[in-house]
C-alpha cells in the first residue's frame, strides 16, 4: 500500500539531487511564510495600520517584478546551482541582520524608524526570495526525467504551498514553548519568530550546497545582451497558451491570493488576535489545505483529468474567500482558511506545471523570470491596495468583493479558446 502511494505521489523524490533541493525548498518556503506573518504583525502593532502591513508586504513582493527577469537571464547564462546558492547566502545574511535588530531592546527597530527599516529589509528579502524561486524553477527539470516532471513540479509546489503551514506551525510551537519559560512575553515572541526564519534559511543553504546537478540555458554569444535578455518575453508573448495562463494566474494572485497584508486585521476580526500567535494560526490553516491539495495533485496523470480539476479549483478559489469573509465563528474561519488554501494552492500548482510543459529548456530561466515578474507585480500591488482599503472597509469585506470579481473572471475565461482547450483538452490519440 505505502509502496503504491510512493510510486504515484513521490516519484521525483527517487532522484537524490531533487530530494536534496526539495528539502531546501521546504526550509526556504517555511522561512518565507513565517517571515510574512512575523513581519506583518510587527509593523501592524507598531503602526496600528493595515496600510503599513500592506506596504511592507508590497516591498517584499515587488522585487519579483523587476528582479526576476534579470535572475532568469543569469540562470540561463551561468550555472543554476551556483546562482541558487548565492540567493540563500544573501538571504541568511539579511535575516541575521533583521533578527539582531528585533532582539536588541534599544535598537533603531523600536523607534520611529522601525517601519522604514522593515520596508528596506523586506525589499532585500524579496529580491533574494524572487531569485531563489526563479532559479529553482529552471533547475528542477534538469533533475528528473521528462515523464516525471509533472510529479516534480507538483511536489515542489506542495513544498511552496505547504510551507504556509509548516513555517507558521513551527512559529506557534516555538512561541508556545517560550511561554513555559520565565522570559515569556510579546517581545520574546517577536525575537524568536525572526530567529526561526533565519534558522530555516541556514538549513536551506546547507542543502543547496549538497546539490550536484550542473545546468545552464543557452545564451547566444552572437546576439546582444538585450536581445538575449528579452528572449523570455518573446517566447511568452508569442505563445498563446503561455500568455493565456499567465493572464489567468495574474487575476488569481491579485484577487484571491493577496491576503497577506490583511492577515493581522483578519486574525483580529475572526480570532480576536492579540499576538503574532493567532495570525500564525490563521496562516497555518491556509497551509494545511495547501499542503494536502498540492500532494494529491502530484498523483494526477493525463491532460483530461488535470484540465477539469484546474477549472474546478479556479471556481473554488473564488468561493472559499467569500466563506471566510462571511464567517463569524473562529472555528468556521479556520476551516474556511483550510479550504481557501486547498483551492488556491491547487490552482497555482497546475499553473506552474503548465508553464514548465510549454517552455523550452534553453530559455526556461528567462521564461520563469517573466512569469514571476507578472505574478510578483500583481501580488505586490494587490497586497498594498488591500491593506490600504482594509483600513476603511475591513479585511473581510475586501476579501469578499475581490473573490466575487475573480469568480466572474473564471466564468468569462470559458469564452477564451486557449483556456477552454486547457480545461477540456481533446482526447490523446491512441
pLDDT category at 2 given cuts 50, 70, 90 is very low
Query: Which carries the bigger pLDDT value, residue 21 or residue 140?
Result: 21
Q: What is the pLDDT of residue 215?
A: 66
Across the range 93-102, mean pLDDT stands at 87
Please, which residues have CB within 8 angstroms of residue 82's CB and are 6 or more apart in sequence?
Answer: none
Burial of 100 per CB tally in 10 Å (0-12, 13-18, 19+) = middle
> Could you give the CA distance from residue 324 to residue 336 in angstroms, rounded to a whole number?
5
Please, which residues have CB within 8 angstroms of residue 206's CB and are 6 or more apart in sequence?
Answer: none
Across the range 274-281, mean pLDDT stands at 62
> Which of 112-116, 187-191, 322-326 is the least confident region?
187-191
> Please, what are the domains in the chain?
13-210+228-423 (1.20.1250.20)
Report the greatest alpha carbon distance in the chain: 71
pLDDT category at 315 given cuts 50, 70, 90 is very high
Q: What is the pLDDT of residue 352?
A: 78
> Could you give the CA distance from residue 374 to residue 397 in angstroms, rounded to a whole number?
26
Cell of 333: 474561519
Closest by Cα among 409, 110, 162, 140 to 287: 162
Q: What is the pLDDT of residue 216?
A: 62
Most confident of 32-46, 130-144, 340-354: 340-354
pLDDT category at 105 given cuts 50, 70, 90 is confident
Q: What is the mean pLDDT of the chain?
A: 77
Query: Which carries the bigger pLDDT value, residue 121 or residue 49?
Result: 121
Share of the chain above pLDDT 90, in %: 3
pLDDT for 428 beyond 70: no
Across the range 348-356, mean pLDDT stands at 80
Put simply, whether the predicted model's pTM sits higher than 0.85 gets the answer: no
Q: What is the pLDDT of residue 286?
A: 77
pLDDT for 336 beyond 50: yes
Across the range 65-87, mean pLDDT stands at 76
Inter-CA distances, 300 with 138, 168, 308, 309, 374, Å: 22, 28, 11, 9, 27
Across the range 217-226, mean pLDDT stands at 60
Q: What is the pLDDT of residue 404?
A: 92
pLDDT for 299 beyond 80: no
Amino acid at each position: 500500500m505505502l509502496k503504491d502511494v510512493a510510486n504515484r505521489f513521490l516519484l521525483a523524490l527517487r532522484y537524490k539531487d531533487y530530494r536534496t533541493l526539495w528539502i531546501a525548498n521546504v526550509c526556504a518556503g517555511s522561512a518565507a511564510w513565517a517571515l510574512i506573518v512575523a513581519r506583518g504583525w510587527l509593523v501592524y502593532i507598531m503602526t496600528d495600520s493595515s496600510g503599513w502591513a500592506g506596504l511592507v508586504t508590497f516591498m517584499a513582493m515587488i522585487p519579483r517584478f523587476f528582479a526576476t527577469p534579470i535572475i532568469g537571464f543569469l540562470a540561463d547564462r551561468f550555472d543554476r546551482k551556483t546562482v541558487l546558492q548565492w540567493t540563500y547566502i544573501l538571504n541568511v545574511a539579511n535575516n541575521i541582520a533583521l533578527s539582531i535588530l528585533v532582539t536588541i531592546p534599544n535598537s533603531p527597530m523600536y523607534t520611529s524608524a522601525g517601519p522604514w527599516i522593515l520596508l528596506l529589509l523586506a525589499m532585500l528579502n524579496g529580491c533574494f526570495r524572487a531569485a531563489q524561486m526563479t532559479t529553482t524553477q529552471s533547475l528542477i527539470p534538469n533533475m528528473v526525467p521528462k515523464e516525471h516532471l509533472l510529479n516534480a513540479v507538483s511536489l515542489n509546489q506542495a513544498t511552496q504551498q505547504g510551507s504556509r503551514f509548516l513555517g507558521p506551525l513551527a512559529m506557534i510551537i516555538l512561541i508556545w514553548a517560550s511561554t513555559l519559560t520565565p522570559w515569556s512575553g510579546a517581545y520574546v515572541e517577536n525575537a524568536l519568530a525572526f530567529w526561526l526564519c533565519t534558522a530555516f534559511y541556514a538549513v536551506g543553504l546547507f542543502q543547496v550546497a549538497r546539490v550536484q546537478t550542473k545546468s545552464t540555458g543557452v545564451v547566444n554569444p552572437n546576439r546582444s545582451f538585450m536581445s538575449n535578455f528579452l528572449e523570455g518575453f518573446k517566447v511568452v508573448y508569442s505563445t498563446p497558451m503561455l500568455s493565456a495562463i499567465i493572464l489567468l494566474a495574474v487575476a488569481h494572485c491579485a484577487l484571491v491570493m493577496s491576503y497577506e497584508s490583511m492577515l493581522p486585521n483578519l486574525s483580529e476580526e475572526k480570532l480576536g488576535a492579540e499576538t503574532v500567535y493567532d495570525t500564525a494560526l490563521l496562516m497555518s490553516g491556509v497551509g494545511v489545505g495547501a499542503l494536502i491539495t498540492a500532494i494529491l495533485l502530484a498523483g494526477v496523470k493525463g491532460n483530461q483529468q488535470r484540465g477539469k480539476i484546474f477549472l474546478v479549483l479556479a471556481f473554488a478559489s473564488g468561493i472559499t474567500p467569500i466563506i471566510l469573509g462571511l464567517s463569524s465563528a473562529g472555528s468556521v474561519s479556520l476551516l474556511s482558511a483550510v479550504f481557501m488554501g486547498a483551492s488556491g494552492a491547487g490552482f497555482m500548482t497546475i499553473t506552474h506545471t503548465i508553464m514548465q510543459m510549454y517552455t523550452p529548456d534553453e530559455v526556461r530561466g528567462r521564461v520563469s523570470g517573466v512569469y514571476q515578474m507578472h505574478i510578483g507585480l500583481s501580488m505586490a500591488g494587490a497586497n498594498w491596495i488591500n491593506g490600504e482599503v482594509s483600513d476603511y472597509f475591513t479585511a473581510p469585506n475586501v476579501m469578499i468583493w475581490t473573490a466575487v470579481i475573480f469568480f466572474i473572471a473564471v466564468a468569462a475565461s470559458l469564452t477564451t479558446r486557449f483556456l477552454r482547450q486547457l480545461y477540456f483538452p481533446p482526447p490523446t490519440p491512441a
